[in-house]
Amino acid sequence: MLASGPRAGGAPLHDLYLRLTVDLQLTIVDAEAVSDAVPYPGHCDTIAPDYKQQLVGLNLMKGFRHELKQRLAGTAGCTHLTELAQILPTAAVQAFANDVWSTNDAAAETQGVPRQKPFQLDKCHALRTDGGAVAQFYPRWVAKAAPGSA
């Protein structure tokens, strides 16, 4: 049992969200922390405004994790929201790669950029070069089976 009292079966102990708006340079232009379920209602759920204040202006690619810890570690933040925030650079790179960096062969050619394998390929299950997503969205980079294998 929690110090704050019993919970109904199936009720979440934590139900937290961290929503960010970033620009094309991956700088945070807006942030919203939401704590829909917490172990200490009226206490845990009062930290949300601090996340907006401390995250807006940070760049996800330039010292973000260090700044996050400096600004929101310990009693300055919520342990769970701060830990959740640590994955934001990786999530943003995966989600917005083509918007921030050209990963399209045709676009690269018109920009005079040498065609190189997009950096996000083979960095996660969905974007493995022997998988369907790469076959559909990055066909040039599909891993070919070695002759005689199958």
Per residue in 31-44, pLDDT (tens digit) is: 999 999 988 889 99
Least confident of 1-5, 48-52, 60-64, 90-94: 1-5
Round the average pLDDT of the chain to a whole number and report it: 84
For residue 16, give every residue at least 6 positions away whose Cβ sits within 8 Å of its Cβ, in sequence order, or none. 33, 34, 35, 36, 38, 78, 80, 81, 84
The pLDDT, as a whole number, for residue 11 is 81
Among candidates 76, 88, 74, which has minimal Cα distance to 20?
Answer: 88
Which pLDDT does position 50 carry in this prediction?
96
| 141 has pLDDT over 60 | yes
At 8, list the tokens: 């109904």
Query: Across residues 52-79, what is the average pLDDT?
Result: 96
Whether residue 138 has pLDDT greater than 80:
yes
Question: pTM for the complete prediction?
Answer: 0.71
Q: What is the largest CA-CA distance in the chain?
A: 65
Determine the average pLDDT of the residues in 94-123: 65
pLDDT confidence of residue 105: 53
pLDDT for 137 beyond 60 = yes
Rounded to an integer, the average pLDDT of 96-118 is 60
Taking only the tens place, the pLDDT of each residue in 119-129 is 778 888 888 99
